Chain A
């Protein structure tokens, strides 16, 4: 049923109210002037006043109820549309009062603004979600209590999930101990970088950081292919070096024979023969070094380590460079107590020290001094190879142990090095559980230190 228009209702009621009020006013006037009021009129006056009050109350109640109903229906409309979608619902009603219409318009404009913002946020969320899902890194996010909130498809592919991850601790769902460890650290405010771990059959590298809300973020990179490629590279280099060495041995052998019989060759062939012989020897050294490196890499951490007297090993290593030092009029000094023992692999230590000493001879001017000294500390034994040569600028320290890295290309070639000496030193040190460091300033000599844990 269509409700009566408000204007008609108001007009009708005011006429009833107005009539009753007039009758009551006449009775009151007659009584005040003392003229006496006829009984019938008094009755009519009382009735009129009662009618007016009653009608006023009824009208107010009806308005209040109607306003309440309208607000209820408005709320229901909003609720219904909120669940469906963000489209603006038809809220306005032709029978609304001015104030109600204004309220409805305000709600509509609020609705439109909110809908725009929500849709904007949704599309941003979708973009972010697809970015996270398509990321080549595994991503895991936990809340402040350490329970997983989000885990992307990449992470899921890298680990064997045992339960629906959301709401579980990482260790319950992901079963990689290191993931739980880095999450625990991040929850305590500590980031983690490059933590290697195995999620059989994958090899992962983890990074983790605390989040602003107190949770943790973990990134996992799949290193499996990288490691396989690394292994393939090592195998390839070893095989190629081995295969090339055989024909090279023939070249070197025949060149040697010719050098011995050089007098039988025409004089203009001599410099050519020298170059063939020199370069063939360089190639042989290079292949030997490459093979040595491949062998160390393949056997990483396998070198047997036993307590040894250091002095005889170091003396032998120094002796291997004695000819070169003599040629360059350089002096050697070995500072090591006879009784000093340390857990080392003798072959590795000898290779490391002789490589370092040879290097020192090459890069120390004629007449310079090279010292090998051993210091015994609480946690390690340190062997220093010290020279007073040209030194190495700190900008090169980071890369000097890389294969084929040269501080001065031209000079290194003239010295006839293979560019692999320090790489061999580094890998030998790692394979025998030690580490190598360098202290040097350009023009002030160098100190290579081998740190052997006790």
Chain B
């Protein structure tokens, strides 16, 4: 197989992993909002796939690099994929964490997840999806827009934390549920960070510039 064919396959496999990670986030949030333990377990089961995809994609990248026949653009792509799979795998892990904290809410009654949590879940899942859109369309500008959206997610997380503290002081008997909810919010905020990291890698693939830890360049 030529480098071009192998890179085309790598791209398809990466998108498959990407879609799975996005799906895990959406279902994890839904399992929490609907107190659906069965859906939560399905998310946990999906994590195995995402983990093995990470290993498989890394293996393919190394085999392309080892051949040494790639050009500069292909090298950029392959190294970016190796970083992106790590982000996607972490997103999968965080979705599992969200589902597991959701189990705490299935049993018993008390503080329930607020609608804001569902909005936050949609926001971060959309960020993961839109990073993939930017990757497919090779749209560097769209990729960097995700940085701005992540600020909204951070703000929502701070609000959820404050709300959690308020519940803790007002209803100490609900401490377990309040902590689970703030943890879920924290996990979602981390998923947002990984979506931004993916977007920065998309920018690197398209534009060739490494924008990590730097202000967005004028494109």
Contacts and interface: CB of A to CB of B under 8 A. Distances in A.
A208 to B, nearest CB: 15
Contacts of A200: 23, 26-27, 30
A126 B111 CA distance: 57
B41 A177 contact: no
- Chain B interface bracket (under 10, 10 to 19, 20 to 34, 35 or more): 20 to 34
Chain A interface, DSSP helix/strand/loop, else mixed:
loop
A302 interface: yes
A163 B27 contact: no
Contacts of B22: 175
Chain B interface, DSSP helix/strand/loop, else mixed:
helix
B76 interface: no
Interface in B1-55: 12, 15-17, 19-20, 22-23, 26-27, 30, 37-38, 41-42
Nearest to A173: B136
B166 interface: no
B132 A175 contact: yes
Interface in B113-144: 129, 132-133, 136-137
Contacts of A201: 30
A171 B12 contact: yes
A23 interface: no
A96 B38 CA distance: 83
Contacts of B30: 200-201
A171 B16 contact: yes
Interface in A130-171: 162-163, 168-169, 171
Nearest to A171: B15
Interface in B154-203: none
B136 A198 contact: no
Nearest to B135: A172
B106 to A, nearest CB: 11
B23 A198 contact: yes
Nearest to A183: B12
B41 A180 contact: no
A301 interface: yes
A191 to B, nearest CB: 20
Contact of B133 (A162, A176, A298): A162
Contacts of A198: 23, 27, 42
Contacts of B17: 177
A283 to B, nearest CB: 30
B211 to A, nearest CB: 23
A172 to B, nearest CB: 5
A102 interface: no
Contacts of A298: 38
A338 B132 CA distance: 55
A313 to B, nearest CB: 25
- With most chain B CB atoms within 10 A of its CB, the pick from A171, A172, A177, A300 is A177
Interface of B: 12, 15-17, 19-20, 22-23, 26-27, 30, 37-38, 41-42, 129, 132-133, 136-137
Given A171-B12, A171-B15, 4 more contacts: A175-B15, A177-B23, A181-B16, A298-B38
18 contacts: A162-B129, A162-B136, A163-B133, A171-B19, A175-B129, A176-B19, A177-B17, A177-B20, A177-B23, A180-B15, A181-B16, A198-B42, A200-B23, A200-B27, A298-B38, A300-B38, A302-B37, A302-B38
Interface of A: 162-163, 168-169, 171-172, 175-177, 180-181, 184, 198, 200-201, 298, 300-302
